[in-house]
């Protein structure tokens, strides 16, 4: 399946090449090469509750973002390579990679295609922890994600269309469990005449497969987006799910009903961006378990002066297995930073991050803590063509 999936982005690119090649004169193209340089101190590189290892590191992150826009096509591609090297603990040296694109193509007057692909190679401490609020050990992770669908405009205010997504996640350690995730859905959206409210209805089916268990999931979700004035928006998604879990090392199956939901409030002003929210859903852990994750998050970005500003990000997680041992984890992270804009496209930023994970079912409630501080210089070089 990986071979087929890696061909997918090229197939879609070929599909889009005719308008790109022959209609370039009518296109708006923006290319943004970038380079980020970082120096960092980390007091618990492997995020372990007992064997803490600290060290200094340096990173170089070259990247490129491409935006292509015509009357028929919106295409955005991105990529970056994160090369990180430690001063003493060279066994932790890594090279992370991220490549992807998303697109929207108008086929006929009321019908358009949506496509997305992403390849990511990183560490569980970077990604799995952010998604689930738990990790068991430091491990390398490789993920392929593809998503495609159609939307048909029933009227000026409503549309409907199917969507299919596939995700494959591989881990380098034999202790972790690779898995595949398939999902098919139908989305109906309607915007009201007041231009402030939009509702959506989303029935879906998902299939999860790993070496230790399979799961089938059915859900129905309802969404509501509301605009409060010109600067504040809310996005609410609530629904019900039914999950059937087949554990391959046992004869019995687990059947579980539950709710899913997400609420997010965003405020955007001239010098301030704020985002707060809460989500309740199921995720896949690195050990092949279906887990329920509750997450609350906050993001702030305030420009204090013309060139100075500060940011603050925080997330708290509570997760519990849906089958087998009802393992429970609690995790939170705090990341404040201050930045100085050297120019419009060059930024110097100082970060601090504190992470804390508690294994609530283990004797003594093992507690992993991690402090990091790093200085980042990001250089961007945008170029536009019309």
Query: What pLDDT, on the 0 to 100 scale, is given for residue 19?
Result: 47
Angle at 41 between CA 348 and CA 44, to 5 degrees: 140
Q: What is the mean pLDDT of residues 35-60?
A: 94
Close Cβ partners of 25 (under 8 Å, ≥ 6 residues apart): none
Residue 348's nearest CA partner among 313, 380, 381, 383 is: 380
Half-sphere exposure of 83 (CA within 13 A, CB side): 6
Q: How far is CA 17 from its chain centroid?
A: 28
Residue spans of beta strands (DSSP E) within the chain: 28-42, 55-69, 73-86, 94-106, 111-123, 140-153, 158-171, 179-191, 197-210, 213-228, 232-247, 253-268, 272-284, 290-303, 308-321, 328-341, 346-359, 367-380, 383-385
Residue 302 in tokens: 């305030």
pLDDT at 132 > cutoff 90: no
Tokens standing for 379?
A: 């250089």
How far is it, in rounded angstroms, from Cα 2 to Cα 146?
A: 11
Residue 122 CA to residue 61 CA, distance in Å, equals 13
pLDDT of residue 2: 44
Domains of the chain: 110-385 (2.40.170.20)
pLDDT, tens digit, 9 for 90 and up, residues 192-228: 988 899 999 999 999 999 888 888 999 999 999 999 9
Please, which pLDDT band fits residue 67 given cuts at 50, 70 and 90?
very high
pLDDT band at 6 (very low <50, low <70, confident <90, very high): very low
> Looking at the predicted structure, is the pLDDT value of residue 101 above 80?
yes
Confidence bin at 148 (pLDDT 50/70/90): very high
Collapse the DSSP code of 268 into the 3-class scheme (helix H, G, I; strand E, B; otherwise coil) and give the result: strand
Give the ranges where 166-259 is alpha helix by DSSP (H): none
Q: Measure the CA–CA gap between 254 and 289, rounded to whole angstroms.
A: 12
Q: Which of 42, 46, 47 is nearest to 329 (CA)?
A: 47
Tokens representing 264 are 């997010």
DSSP code of residue 127: T
Q: pLDDT-based confidence at 176, cuts 50/70/90?
A: confident
282, 70, 97: which is closest to 181 by C-alpha?
282
Task: Give this prediction's pTM.
Answer: 0.86
pLDDT digits (tens, 9 = 90+) for 220-267: 999 999 999 889 999 999 999 999 988 777 766 788 899 999 999 999
Contact between 222 and 238 under an 8 Å Cβ cutoff? The reply is yes
Neighbour-count burial of 258, counting CB atoms closer than 10 A to its CB (0-12 exposed, 13-18 middle, 19+ buried): middle
Compute how many other C-beta atoms are within 10 angstroms of the C-beta atom of residue 24. Answer: 12
**Distance of alpha carbon 140 from alpha carbon 123, whole angstroms:** 4
Residues 164, 159: Cα–Cα separation, whole Å = 17
- With 0-12 / 13-18 / 19 or more C-beta atoms within 10 angstroms meaning exposed / middle / buried, residue 74 is middle
């Amino acid at each position: 399946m990986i071979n087929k999936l890696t061909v997918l982005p090229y197939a879609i690119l070929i599909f889009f090449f005719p308008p790109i090649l022959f209609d370039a004169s009518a296109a708006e193209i923006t290319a943004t090469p970038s380079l980020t340089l970082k120096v960092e101190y980390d007091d618990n590189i492997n995020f372990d509750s007992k064997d803490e290892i600290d060290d200094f590191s340096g990173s170089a992150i070259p990247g490129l973002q491409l935006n292509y826009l015509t009357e028929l096509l919106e295409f955005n591609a991105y990529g970056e390579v994160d090369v990180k090297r430690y001063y003493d603990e060279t066994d932790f040296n890594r090279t992370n990679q991220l490549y992807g694109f998303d697109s929207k193509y108008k086929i006929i007057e009321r019908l358009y295609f949506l496509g997305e692909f992403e390849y990511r190679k990183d560490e569980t401490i970077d990604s799995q922890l952010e998604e689930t609020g738990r990790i068991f050990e430091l491990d390398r992770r490789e993920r392929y994600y593809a998503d495609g669908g159609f939307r048909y405009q029933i009227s000026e205010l409503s549309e409907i269309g199917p969507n299919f997504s596939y995700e494959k996640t591989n881990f380098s350690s034999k202790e972790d469990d690779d898995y595949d995730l398939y999902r098919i859905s139908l989305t109906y959206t309607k915007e009201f005449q007041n231009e402030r409210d939009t509702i959506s209805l989303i029935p879906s089916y998902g299939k999860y497969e790993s070496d230790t268990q399979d799961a089938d999931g059915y859900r129905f979700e309802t969404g509501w987006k509301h605009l409060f004035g010109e600067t504040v928006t809310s996005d609410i998604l609530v629904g019900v799910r039914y999950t059937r879990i087949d554990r391959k090392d046992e004869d019995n199956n687990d059947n579980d009903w539950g709710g899913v939901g997400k609420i997010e409030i965003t405020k955007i002003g001239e010098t301030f961006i704020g985002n707060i929210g809460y989500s309740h859903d199921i995720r896949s852990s690195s050990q092949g378990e279906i887990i329920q994750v509750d997450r609350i998050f906050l993001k702030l970005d305030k420009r204090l002066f013309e060139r100075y500003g500060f940011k603050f990000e925080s997330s708290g997680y509570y997760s519990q297995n849906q089958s087998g041992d009802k393992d429970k984890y609690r995790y939170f992270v705090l990341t404040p930073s201050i930045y100085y804009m050297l120019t419009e496209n060059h930024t110097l930023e100082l970060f601090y991050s504190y992470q804390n994970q508690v294994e609530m079912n283990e004797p003594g409630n093992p507690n992993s803590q991690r402090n990091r501080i790093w200085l980042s210089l990001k250089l961007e070089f945008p170029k536009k063509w019309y």
